[in-house]
Structure 1
């Protein structure tokens, strides 16, 4: 994966969406794939074709298996965490609302609303075949696009969202049946929610483990195995994600941002920010303008 994208996927995608109202990746297969927490201006349809793992949106964890679809709203923090050593294949479609027909735009974007309980969908049967067809046609048009004529792209993305809307709001009992979560340890779900909601505080590992009634060493092992990050790294990623929002959307001094997201040391904030994003807080702010 390109270094720029791996360091700061949000800036990478945002830059792509400034060039065109859609950006996509089609059936990319990788082993040991890693992605930072990120967010971006566009909405995202994430399709996990093959493999196994987890997907995080803000403080929510979803188990991933082949033919899963995840719907991500604009500016939501998210990351995929496929199991290491197992090849995984995925597609991702990022798009801006302007690509949708104006009269149905609001209805179609409802499926991305965080209040929608069906943003994790497991496709099968004819529905899966139809999505594969639409995805292939969309990619075909995207790959050869060299003009400002988005007609074919509009048709396919609108048809894809129509199918998603039908599943979410009038799907069969089978399609809307809750996806089993037995592969996710409840302690890890609790830990992710606690860290996501209290990232501005000092959170000693011993206190977190004590509150969850779990051995701290086992918690660390289980957390890294599930999320793909250590607890410290997860906390840093969460803090940096919120710092990026403040850098991009406010004029708050960088020193104040550092403190407001939970860093006690400004120099440590700078090092963590550079490690995660590949750039400095000031440079990130300048690029976000």
Structure 2
């Protein structure tokens, strides 16, 4: 899928992930996701306006240190595959490791969290207070899902990463807010009119690197609610539905036009012929060329 200027990640070779000092960032408004593979390192003491979650993937010698905001006391914690490091906004901290390590970092601005939850969030402000290493299987699973996408050696779609981040944002509100927050769940799918608007918008922009936020705004819902409502209505999560629609359009173009396959690939949002052919074969069962000739 084509990546826009604010999300330049394209992994063309899986072996890239095995070389030292690899940093692959994805950046959007209020959201920054980074995969990092690096040898011995230590970040200087720093803080973020964003809430930062660090998910270690190799844990030998990996430590996280938080510092008191009022004195010099330090709290050092060794991270493992079973726990993650959660640093609230403006919390001084540092990360250090003495061997090669891999990690995924989510940086979520408070505004992103509130926007992601939207009407499901009943509260005036998000303030995350949990500090340091925590055991949280959902966060670990989200990091693992993103890591698996990084290792597919292909472009990572914006809508998929946003979906993971939206799930993470609501999870933080529910479980790590300073005050008790009530996140309302969705009971049903999209209404007929909203489903039509969402489908029309998606089908009109199959060649674009679609944003979950953009689709949500089209139907007047938060990204969190849209993700769940669309799945209830179609049986597909947003990124899977987008891929399904792209394949349906591709099949139509293959049988009803004589466009070169590379042009069809670009028309339905794939970054190159190879990526398109791989996905087409995976989902349809045969190559685009075989489908056209069948």
Higher helix share: 1
Question: Same fold per TM (> 0.5)?
Answer: no
Category of TM-score, reference length = shorter chain: 0.3 to 0.5
Greater C-alpha Rg:
2
Q: TM-score normalized by structure 2?
A: 0.38
